[in-house]
Amino acid sequence: MNSATLGYRSARMSAHPNELDRRRIVRGLKARRRYRYVEPSVVDVDGGYRIASPCCSRNIDAEGGIIDVALLLFEPENEIWRLFWKNHKTGTWELHSVHVRLASILEQLNMDDERTFWQ
């Protein structure tokens, strides 16, 4: 690999998080079906974004504290997004699905018919 290729790979690897996509996620979450009256937060993490929100259902946190909702990680080598849900019983992130576009993750999060994310 030459230095030009390494520079390109390095730029791609550091593409996330970025302010533009963080704002796209914040804006996109406004179309969600569940808990539309609370303001989720989108936090930058290494390689992506973590979404957290007040626990309105009180199923996870009886006091309504802030809980993790989803983790979005970009894999630059394959140019895919990995969407994780929080298993609150074990305290671990579990892979939910793989996406090519950020928009399809937002659709998944906003529909959430199974209440996987918005508990």
pLDDT tens string 26-49: 999 999 887 778 889 999 999 999
Q: Across residues 112-116, what is the average pLDDT?
A: 87
- The per-residue pLDDT for 4 is 44
Q: What angle do CA 49, 68, 79 make, to 5 degrees?
A: 30
Give me the helices (H) in the chain, please.
3-13, 19-28, 102-111
The residue among 48, 58, 111, 114 whose CA lies nearest residue 83 is 48
- pLDDT, greater one: 79 or 59: 79
**Residue 91 backbone zone (phi > 0: left; psi -120 to 50: alpha; other: beta):** left
Q: Across residues 44-59, what is the average pLDDT?
A: 86
The tokens describing 117, both together, are 């994310």
